[in-house]
Structures are given as C-alpha cells and as structure tokens.
Amino acid sequence: MKKAILWSGMWLAAIPALGQTGGDVSKVGTAAAAFLEIPVGARAGGMGGAFVGTSDDVTALYWNPAGIARLDRSEAMFTHTEWIADMQFDYAGLALSLEEFGWVGLSFTSLSMGDMLVRTVDRPEGTGEVFDAGSFAVGVHYARSLSEKFSIGFTAKYISERIWNMEAGAFALDVGTLFVTNFLNGMRIGAAVSNFGTDMKLEGRDARTFHPVDPNNTGGNDRIPQNIEMDSWHLPLNFQFGVAVDAINTDDHLLTLALDALHPTDNYESINVGGEYSFQRMFFVRGGYQSLFLTDAEGGLSLGTGILAPLFGETMNARVDYAYTDFGRLQAVHVLAVSVLF
C-alpha cells in the first residue's frame, strides 16, 4: 500500500509538467536557469544521459536523488566540462550514509564565462568597461530505502543567476523514486521530477534609469529615478522516466543497458539511450545517444570510458571517467570526472 501511495504521489507531482508543454508549439528558451538542464557526470554523459533508472553513483544527486539510498558506500565527485561557447560547467557532489536513517548529500553546480566588453549603439567596439555572467545552484539531498526494492529521494536547492549588476534567485525541489524489480536480473525503474520551484526575476541597479518630468520644457528636473519592471520566468521543470537492466551480469563482465524518456516544459519530448560495459568492475566502456526524436536536435552520439582503482587498500577507491558528446553544429563537449569512494 505504501508503494502504491508513493507511486501515485510521484505521478501526481508530474501532472504540472505534463500540462505545460503541448501541441506543436516549441517553448525552447522560455525558462530561466537553463544551466540546470546540463547533464552532470562523465559516466552518465557517456551513456547518452540515460541514467535515471541506473542512478548508482553520486551523480544520482542530479539524475534521481532516490539513487543515493542504494550506494554501497559514501562517495564524493568533482566534474569539469568545457561547455559550448567557451563556458565552464562544474559540479561537485557528496553523498554520505547515515546508516539506518538513510543518506544525505550536498551538491554545487556552477556555469561561468569570461569577461565580455560592454557595447552600446554609439560605441559598438566597446565602452572600455567589461561585464561577466554566471549561474550556480546549491543543493541539499536526502534519500531513504523504504524496502529492499524501493527508495525515494528529495532535493532542496537554491538557484542564482547574474549578469553584470543584475541577479535573480529561486528555490526548487526535486523528487525521485527508484524501484528494483524481481525480473530481468533486477531491472530498475526510476522516475524523477526536477526543478519544481519559484519563478526567477532579475533585479539590480542596471534596471534603474532616470527620466525627465517633461522633456519638452527646460529648467525642469531631468533626473527622476525609475525602475524597469522585469518579467518573471519559470524554471525548466522536467519529468523523466527511466529503466535500466543488466543484460550480462557475471563476476568478470557486466553490461548495463538503459533508456530514459524526458518531458520538459521548455522543449519537446525525447528519449536517451545508452549502455555501459565493465570488466571486473574496474574498466569501463560506454556509449549512448541522446535526444532521440527531439525536433531540431543537434548531434546526440556519446562515448565514454573510465577506470576504478584502489586508493588506500580496500578502504578507499578512486574512479576517473571521461565522456565525449557530439552536439552537431555547436561543438563536441568533453567531460572529465574524478570520484572518491570511501
């Protein structure tokens, strides 16, 4: 009964997402904090972003917070991505076990870029000033296994975006579930709703201007302050459903196949598929394809590799992962991630 109630609640939570994208109208570019949709981790990236049903490492904090409840031990990870248009995308995550009380996690996401020239209509080559822009999110996570087969997880996060002297902030929640079945070598079924939160609106001194009382008369006050009212924009709410199955599972060989279905509010629906082969759970090769059936998708092929090695005997291991993702006319993206398991 508890499982049925939780699954029902999960689908009810997804109803707002299902209702905001419809018809043939694209809503690309209509949400704030688009950096929240950048895939996290080289392992998931190498699998084409098909990771909601897998979610068995610390990047589950991003993909499906319920997954951290099924980790074998605590894990910390840092990943760096040379993102499109010379932007830098970084993510750090930590998942810690509280024994019978479940698991907790912390995460930090950052998108940054270099300084840019301030240009105006009168001075298109630059005014001599520079400005920058950036975004970040800080998350607190909690997950717990309600049974041997079923776990649930939650994320609360603060999101901030800024450009020059303007800034916008918001709070959001993620909810995820993960169920391990009794068939197909323990096929996993995951579902997650991400970025359900408040709207974002830019505020700051760049929206403050001065206006004359009467521009047609001289001698009046031409420095009446006024503030430009900015519009509010919703977060990129996203519902994802994923399955993962171990097609081969022996002592030396493990082949995992995964598929995710995505329903975002700021784009069309799409599917990610991927797989991971590991030899002796130490050497990994991955491949996948993201954004299948997505209208106007760019690229999609992903490849990756990784290695897991002991760091201090059997008490601590280190894993290094790399992923390559093709984004068509934009550019290829390279992701490097380093994890410590303890």
pLDDT in tens, 233-289: 999 999 999 999 999 999 999 999 999 999 999 999 999 999 999 999 999 999 999
Tell me how far apart the alpha carbons of residues 51 and 64 are, in angstroms, rounded to a whole number.
Answer: 8
Domain ranges of the chain: 2-16+29-208+231-341
High-pLDDT (> 70) share of the chain, %: 91
pLDDT (mean) for 80-94: 93
Q: 131 burial class (0-12, 13-18, 19+ CB within 10 angstroms)?
A: middle
pLDDT in tens, 294-328: 888 887 899 999 999 988 777 899 999 999 999 98
Kindly tell me if the per-residue pLDDT of 11 is higher than 50.
no
Higher pLDDT pick, 224 / 268:
268
Q: What is the pLDDT of residue 209?
A: 83
pLDDT in tens, 149-158: 999 999 999 9
Residue 53 Rama label (left phi>0; alpha psi -120 to 50; beta): alpha
Q: What is the pLDDT of residue 170?
A: 97
Q: What is the pLDDT of residue 1?
A: 39
Q: What are phi and psi of 288, to 5 degrees?
A: -175, 180
pLDDT band at 18 (very low <50, low <70, confident <90, very high): very low
Tell me how far apart the alpha carbons of residues 267 and 295 are, in angstroms, rounded to a whole number.
Answer: 9
Is there a contact between 170 and 197 (Cβ–Cβ < 8 Å)? yes
Q: What is the pLDDT of residue 219?
A: 64
**Which among 237, 192, 263 is positioned nearest to 32, based on CA atoms?**
237
If you write DSSP's letter for every residue of 183-218 in order, what string do you get?
Answer: STTT-EEEEEEEEEE--B--EEGGGEEEE-S-TTST
pLDDT (mean) for 171-186: 94
Q: What is the pLDDT of residue 25?
A: 66
Q: Name residue, tokens 């047609």.
A: 216
pLDDT band at 114 (very low <50, low <70, confident <90, very high): confident
If you write DSSP's letter for every residue of 56-106 in order, what string do you get?
Answer: -STTHHHH-GGGGGG-SS-EEEEEEEEEGGGEEEEEEEEEEE-GGG-EEEE
Q: What is the pLDDT of residue 220?
A: 66
Is there a contact between 298 and 331 (Cβ–Cβ < 8 Å)? no
Q: Which residues neighbour 136 within 8 Å (Cβ) at sequence distance 6 or greater?
A: 108, 109, 110, 111, 159, 160
Tell me how far apart the alpha carbons of residues 234 and 159 are, in angstroms, rounded to a whole number.
Answer: 12
Q: Report the mean per-residue pLDDT for the chain.
A: 88
Buried b / exposed e over 229-240, threshold 16 CB at 10 Å, is eeeebbbbbbbb
Q: What is the pLDDT of residue 17?
A: 40
- What number does CATH give the domain 2-16+29-208+231-341? 2.40.160.60
Other beta carbons less than 10 A from residue 190's beta carbon: 27
Kindly tell me if the per-residue pLDDT of 330 is higher than 90.
no
Is there a contact between 213 and 223 (Cβ–Cβ < 8 Å)? no
If you write DSSP's letter for every residue of 300-315 in order, what string do you get?
Answer: -EEEEEEEEEEEETTT
Q: What is the pLDDT of residue 24?
A: 59
**Which among 332, 253, 318 is positioned nearest to 58, based on CA atoms?**
318
87, 112, 173, 327 from 81: Cα distances, Å: 9, 11, 24, 14
